[in-house]
Structure 1
Amino acid sequence: MEAPKQTQPNAASFPVLEIWDPSKSPCMFIKPVKQINEGPDVAKFLTSKAYRDIGIFVMQLNRAMCPRKIKDDDGKDKIQTFQLGSEYETQPVLSVRILQTLLATIESYIDEAPPDQGPRRFGNISFRKWYQLLEDRIKELLEKFLPDSVLNFGPRYERKPRAMDEIKSYLLGGFGSAQRLDYGTGHELSFLAFLGSLWKLGYFKDGKPGGDIERSIILGVFEPYLRVVRRLILTYTLEPAGSHGVWGLDDHSFQPYIYGSAQLTRPISDSEPMPLEGSLPRAPKPAQVVKPEYVEQERKRNMYFSAIGFINDVKKGPFWEHSPILFDISGIKDGWGKINKGMIKMYNAEVLSKFPVVQHFYFGSLFSWEQDPDATIPQQTIHMSNQPNTSTSMPPPPSSSTATGPGTAAPWAQATSMTGPSGPGIPYSRAPGHPVTLPSHARSGGAGGQGPTTRAPW
């Protein structure tokens, strides 16, 4: 199904994810299937409609979280911010409240599958019991919480599969792997696709478009989802999906760093694009992520600090040692706008362009494997050449080479006018072994005064 891209009011240059028209025929849903089986398939994914729609949705949600310049009742200038615990989470529209109840129900299954007490090095096998409960009940859950107009979207005629089959696949894929006893950014991506599917099917129509409903989706649904996932990780000691090593941003998640940094960027009006530098007045300094007591205070309000707080919950030792990339980012001097821009680029390069992550993403009609007719054919960049040849291959170590050709023109690259050494949309690969100048707050950190040797991707 095709529909024209919708745009925010008075902001034609800011695309939003399309909302499908149920009266259009045919509505041909398909059971989502795996399409990325070998490394070269990633290049095709980067020209697919699914990739386009993921990018549009991420940028739409990201921009909604940016502080706004508004007028108060007396006509005076005022800044509006969007924090955890605000009315977007505590008093959301009905569609969001229903999803909160759905997540709470899913979380309650933990009580029915307590962790196994036997010794085990990696992952707790009781997670498989929890996952089986979710798998057995997911159809009933969706029928209980989601309206028939979404689950059976489209004209009334005999149709199999239904929209529900695609929705179910993305929701189930958002809670880790029962086989590998792990959770990572690919599962987080699947939950984003679940929310994007509901958006396309008109589920969030009871919210105010152009920012308000997007904020409720992030603060009222995505952050509660992360809390459920974090409890699963702690309860069942889930492993990180894939081996990030020192080149990963976080063992398990990425998106909270995008939306959390957006919360702290320089305020904009509804007609302005995302700022590429600058910070909210009186925003916490990026360097304060290394102070546990400050993180504990800010994690109640901000998604970036909430994610850092969870790292502190599960890891001990110097922050620069267990989270070197986040530590390196904490030295950025150009504000949270610069960090947010870098997070978008890094998500594109380190999550959406990496075979070990996207190989597990499934494609239906809502997120389609079909080629986007407006896509730019990706060049043979460092990311493309470093993909494994088969689904069982381990990816080779990062190369120290620098790509020279233009990358895929991702939706977020166009929206933020970002460029890098490898062209718009795909930043250069972080190469190991390069010297780095540590931020002043860290030059004496670590054992023997030795800090990390990583380089932020921007």
Structure 2
Amino acid sequence: MAKIDFIKTEAYKNIKNFLYQVDISIKEDKQEHNIEHIKMLESISNKIESTALDESSHRFANNACLEVFKFLKNESSNIYFLNSFGNSTRMDYGTGHELNYFCYLYTLYKSGCLKINEVFGVLKVYFRVVRSFLNKFNIEPAGSQGIWGIDDYQILPYVFGSSELFNSSRSVFELDAKYCYIECLKSSKNKKSLVLQSFRNKRWVDINRTLLNMYDLQIFKKNVITQHFIYSEFLPNVN
């Protein structure tokens, strides 16, 4: 099978356009909550909380996380959704899985099940649920850039968090965790990220522009991530 160049596909064009649509909506529109999809995430959160840890010793992820992966199959048959909480075989999670959830929301949007100004509200809940999943079961990162990366697990909270703060004149030090960017920053395991440190005294408009470009370069244009991209009717591999 011929190797697919992701950036030449309709999938790349569609999902990149969606990224910018959500970014603009956060900046310009009143954001709303989609109760149906938030409740779905709350159901997953409850499952995570109620699942007892496997008490046998584990060097890496706790095997009890497999109960959550089984539970996800009862929530949706969407291929992007089922691959958005990590890999159940390797028991790891990374930005490619986060991208899968974003693709899942794109399919909902294109199907008329989710409005553009509801995407951010659902994503914020997803970010929190994923963090609780990672922390409880000690899920390993699928890859790590160490201090040279933003976060081993999540990038979109920073991207859209900067969209939320686009018009703010307050610095990182003056804001609290009610904002998506700050919430993720406070909970991040990568406390020594040189990228995030470089943002501390920058304007949010500049941070936002940098992060959008960085997402394109480090996610969409990184073969190590897009080689596993799931193509579909909504996100086809045609040129």
* 1:121 pairs with 2:71: no
Given candidates 170, 173, 189, the residue that maps to 2:83 is 173
Residues 60, 138 of structure 2: 8 Å contact kept: yes
Structure number with bigger Rg: 1
Partner residue, 2:182: 305
Alignment partners' CA distance in 2, 1:202 and 1:117: 44
Higher RCO, Cα 8 Å, sep 6+: 2
Structure 2: distance between partners of 1:299 and 1:199: 28
1:216 aligns with 2:154: no
The alignment status of 1:284 with 2:164, answered yes or no, reads no
CA-to-aligned-CA distance 1:128-166 (integer Å, 9 cap, x gap): 22212322x1xxx34xxxxxxxxxxxxxxxxxxxxxx6x
CA contact (8 A) 1:67 1:263 kept: no
Which amino acid in 1 is paired with 2:106?
Answer: G
For the Cα contact (< 8 Å) 2:61–2:140, is it kept in 1?
A: yes
Does the alignment pair 1:65 with 2:36?
no
CA distance in 2, matches of 1:126, 1:355: 31
Paired residue type of 1:47 = K
Counterpart of 1:193 (choices 68, 78, 103) is 103
Residue number in structure 2 paired with 1:344:
212
Alpha-carbon distance between aligned partners in 1 of 2:224 and 2:68, rounded to the nearest angstrom: 25
Deviation of the 1:45 alpha carbon: 0.7
**Structure 1 residue 177: deviation in Å?**
1.0
Within the alignment, does 1:102 sit opposite 2:63 as a pair?
A: no
* Equivalent of residue 325 in structure 1, options 195, 198, 213: 195
Matched to 2:170, the amino acid is P
Match of 2:137 in 1: 236
- Counterpart contact for 1:242–1:356, Cα < 8 Å: no
Partners of 2:48 and 2:165 in 1: CA distance: 34
Whichever residue aligns with residue 61 of structure 1, its letter is V
Name the CA distance, whole Å, in 1 between partners of 2:200 and 2:40.
Answer: 36
Paired residue type of 1:190: N
**Gap regions ≥5 residues in structure 2:** none
Report the TM-score, using the length of structure 2 for normalisation.
Answer: 0.92
Q: Deviations over 1:287-346 (max 9, x none)?
A: x2xxxxx56xx111x1111110111xx46xxx4xx22211122243xx111110110110
- Which whole-Å CA distance do the structure 2 matches of 1:336 and 1:111 have between them? 35
Q: Deviation at 1:123? A: 1.4
Classify the secondary structure of the residue corresponding to 2:84: helix
Structure 1 partner of 2:166? 265
Matched-pair contact (CA < 8 Å) for 2:22–2:120? yes
Structure 1: unaligned runs, 5 residues or longer: 1-34, 69-81, 143-164, 205-212, 267-279, 289-293, 372-458
Give 1:178 deviation, angstroms.
1.1
Partner Cα separation in structure 1 for residue 237 and residue 226 of structure 2: 12
Shift of 1:359: 2.4
Q: Secondary structure at the match of 2:83?
A: helix
Q: Is the 1:171–1:194 Cα contact (8 Å) retained in structure 2?
A: yes
Q: Could you tell me how far apart the structure 2 residues matched to 1:235 and 1:62 are?
A: 31
- Code of the residue aligned with 2:79 in structure 1: it is S
Q: Distance in 1 between matches of 2:35 and 2:117?
A: 13
Q: Which moved more, 1:174-183 or 1:342-351?
A: 174-183
**Residue 408 of structure 1 corresponds to which residue in structure 2?**
none
Q: Provide the residue aligned with 2:227 in structure 1.
A: 359
Deviations 1:170-205 (A, max 9, x none): 11111111111111111111011111001111113x
1:4-23 aligned at under 5 Å gives the runs: none
Contact 2:15 2:103 in 1 (8 A): yes
Please state whether the residue corresponding to 2:228 is helix, strand or coil. Answer: coil
* Aligned partners of 1:184 and 1:253 also within 8 Å: yes
Instruction: Return the TM-score normalized by structure 1.
Output: 0.49
Q: Spell out the pairing of 1:302-451 with structure 2 (5 A cutoff).
A: 302-311=179-188, 314=189, 319=191, 322-332=192-202, 335-371=203-239
Name the amino acid aligned to 1:105: S
